[in-house]
Chains A and B, each alone.
Chain A
Amino acid sequence: MSDLLLDVKNLETHFKTEEGLVKAVNNVSFSLNRRETVGIVGESGSGKSVTSLSVMRLIPDPPGKIVGGSINYYGDDGSVTDLTTLSEAEMRKYRGNEISMIFQEPMTSLNPVFTCGNQVIEAIRLHQNVSKQEAIDQTLALFEKVQLPTPERILKAYPHQLSGGQKQRVMIAMAMSCNPKILIADEPTTALDVTVQKTILELMANLKNEIDSSIIFITHDLGVIAEIADRVIVMYKGKIVEQGDVYSIFSNPQHPYTKGLLACRPPLNRRLSQLPTVSDFMREEDGQMIEVKASVEEMLSGFEITHEQHREHLNQLKKQEPLLEVRNLRTWFPSGKNFFGKTTSWVKAVDDVSFDVYPGETLGLVGESGCGKTTLGRSLLRLAPAREGEVIYRGKDILKLTKAEMKELRREVQIIFQDPYSSLNPRLTIGNAIMEPMQVHGVYDTDSQRKDRVVELLETVSLKAHHFNRYPHEFSGGQRQRICVARSLALNPKFIICDESVSALDVSVQAQVLNLLNELQNKLDLTYIFISHDLSVVKFMSDRMVVMNQGVIEEMGPADDICLNPQTAYTQRLISAIPKGLVEEIKVRKGV
């Protein structure tokens, strides 16, 4: 039995689109050995998902098609099969049986109308000749193995009754059900909280050893790769730009793109004035790639701020009068009602929360999903109804403002939402979208003056004036978030709430948007509340930080202090769950 399990050679997968032929996977070759975990990393559109779907032969056709190359699968009996030449019926014997797959979105990857048990049983009975009872027993055993609580209950539960992490465990159980030789995991933890991500990664590593399989792990986050992979493949624009074992990639990256990916993750243990981005290492001019010769470390230390400098900055901030004072804020949602519609029980999303925000400061708000951080942000602007408490902005209680005063306030306080895809109206050109708030609030007298302002704003967020008449779908996720930033700046606000504003973006794009926000803060004297589930991002952005858990404040203080010296068990757990991607840790894990 050879050690080789999968050998992909010169794979070409093309998509026919309205703009012409897209070579999503362009001459890609790599191999996978038995019991090995290979990580494929790259930003969205780099072709990493298409590569994995090509192996499964699940490319939607039309518009996609594998047009060249081979995917050789080495069976246990010594046979070699080129998967690209199999008929659809033959391929089905491999799918779910020899090669199985876990997808990114556990929320939508399970069929909502069948029970979780049924969906796993279906997979088992499809590939194994067993009775229904036996399949049920196997499923229960699998649920036990993926550490789901109360397997009997989950067997009969529908997907919507489970949490995201539990759903992903069901997906893993389904993928593992026929002891596959290859498990392809396409961003399996991207949609999950860091704490849940950590447990899922551990689970996958354990199961891999137990059933003796190999994993192809796809992600945009090198930090996750460092935790799980043996070998790393870096993809960029449909091509492999670098591959090697995980230690050498992290300790000595060669390609500027790899360096960029490594450097753009916000570090926990040091403070930077700005994040290096991929474009700091390479840029394209006339189709030629120009490389900047610099190591990751050189780039990072160039942006570093010392502890003393930052402490000085904090002291300066605290000398001022607070811009916003939140006192004993409570936002409860009714969770149970009796027959006559009277509320009998409450979900206490925000419960007795108090804090101050100083002018020019960034206050970070961090916690797991469901901890109440988003509701808190919305309550401040009365987008969620607060039950009691005070939100004092420049001496006035926002919760008691009249409608006219509230409109006035909305000029000064803006919010940037999480999803740049759904927070822009698809039928409005971006120029009009940015102009709209100015028209509503009567800023400037004529539309031509407003247009000039929009162009100015577009340039502020590094977009071009000629983008004015384009529609949102013509822009990438990062560009759309820039547009949202420009729109929120249209009214010259003083205070901006960023609600998970970079969570939907790739790490490399995230770094650009974070830098932009910081730059704007300095230039326009803005004050931010920065809400995110990602502690490292919050730490990079904020001067002070609030850690929330189940509606109450768990810990509050200077961001550096909390990260370096967390006081509560909850914060410690959050910090330890972050994939840090440190070379030393890889060294220990791989025993180099």
Chain B
Amino acid sequence: MIRDIFLMSLDALRSHKIRTLLTLVGVIIGIGSVIIVTTAGSSVRLFIEEQWNIFDPTAMVIGIGTASDPPQINFREMGFTDHDIEEIKKLPDVKEVAPIGLLPLKGIKLKEGFLKWQSKAGGNMYATTPDLLDIMGLKIEEGRTFQNKKNEVVISKSMTQLFGKDKQLKVGDTIYIQRIDGKLIKSTIVGILKEGESTNALSQLTAISMAGPVDPYYSSYFGSNVGGIFRHITAYGILYAEATDKAHVNDAKNEILSYLNSKSDAINYKNKNSDFVVITQQYIISKVDQIMSVMSMLITSIAMVSLVVGGIGIANIMFATVTERTREIGTMMAIGAKRRDILSLFLYQSSMIGLLGGILGCIIGASGGAFIIQILNQYLKELGGTFSSGNIPLIYSTQWFLIAVFFGIVIGIAAGVLPARKAAKMDPVTALRYE
């Protein structure tokens, strides 16, 4: 008998297709957006976890700035000296340290002389040690890395196009680099970096286009001087460091901070109000995760509102249906339907709307999720850099589909309770007389 009453409620839905469809929309939007959010969430999370596995989780950036949350590094505040780098290297949980000397350029040209600058933008180059490429996980695709105290640079793949496609830069080419202070340095390109192969989330902050040794590019540069013109001490704004292993990242961070805050040169050179800041990869990834969960919470709460509105829609249409079918209800009671038969007839009907809304919402959510992942992947490609090599996988979280369908039914039942009770409580005599 339950099966028959169930089938009858299906008939009622089928006989009002448009009404049923319109009622479904609210539930579909609600359930669909939950599925989209959870699909995007689980896919991106897996992507980040995968990247995290490729990433060298031991890397960190050391700078001067504000130790707030999130911490801020002021790239222009110089303070770390070569002596500091030596001392940090000696710390027990630190494996490697490399400086980054930020070198603003006036331009780059192919020939010496009073020619017009041929490069479009000066940009920056990094003066550093070959260790930096290791810490950042950058690989040389062609040629070799630069050597200290030589006029050698490595450039990124995109830099080879600096002078256009027909004048592509190659290993062994000579270029003239002019610093912002006017000094012209004749340099040889010794290596080309492999594109998008960095395993370091931090390198997203400082994408390398050109790098060379500290000496000669940075050591005689006025921007590197701290403590007044007579001291002439070369100092850096940023250091890259690597911990000995994943488990000691925080130890290394604490050792570095305690050294910097006690015996370092940098403590004398930095502004009194500035702090030393160490940002680990773990921190960056936890931030990404945090942003994602805030986003998904936001969208989920919007979806909840839409589900509630959908539920109200169901309740509304069910009340209308009950009123419209008053005489039918009276008839059914006359021919032997008990109150609970009438109750279940309408409860089935509303829960079927919920179930259908849940299923359709899952289908629409699944395709919407796939669409969003596709857009994200396209965006990653256009963004370039570290993430462009990866592809966000499409991961559906099965439990959310089940939860969504279950939720659809629950909303259907909840919305149907009052109208169904109204129907079941009708007086058969009055109901039969209803016009």
Do A and B share a complex? no
Chain A residues with a Cβ under 8 A of chain B: none
